[in-house]
Amino acid sequence: SGAVTDLAEARRGVLARESKGSTGMEHGIALPHARTEAVTRMVCALGISRAGVDFDSMDREPARVFFMVLMPMSVTVEYTRLTGALMRALDEPGREALLAAKSGREAVEILAHGMQAH
């Protein structure tokens, strides 16, 4: 999309943020994120691991749904709104629907529908 201007710097930003404390939430959700000069606008990516990944989550459960957010240094309110909508959309039925998705497109549609419904 052209919004990521420096992939290596974006990666360093996420890893630096994770080194301060895991963004592994509860119930198999991880929200890795970073504020970085490496993007021109907010960029999001969805990842799903049916097997789960040890992400040092609050409840010690493996993370299965990953939502990564990269945002310019100036973004604040939009990120807060986004994470609130995500957490509501990723309730138990939302998580289970995502894990059952047959394709990336279906997963994105499920997530978008869940965010609009809340």
Catalytic residues, by residue number, are 33
> 27 vs 11, 55, 105, CA distance in Å?
25, 12, 23
| 25 C-beta neighbours (distance < 10 Å), count | 21
Kindly give the residue spans of alpha helices, DSSP state H, lying in 44-91.
Answer: 77-89
CB 35 within 8 A of CB 68: no
Cα-only R_g, the chain: 14
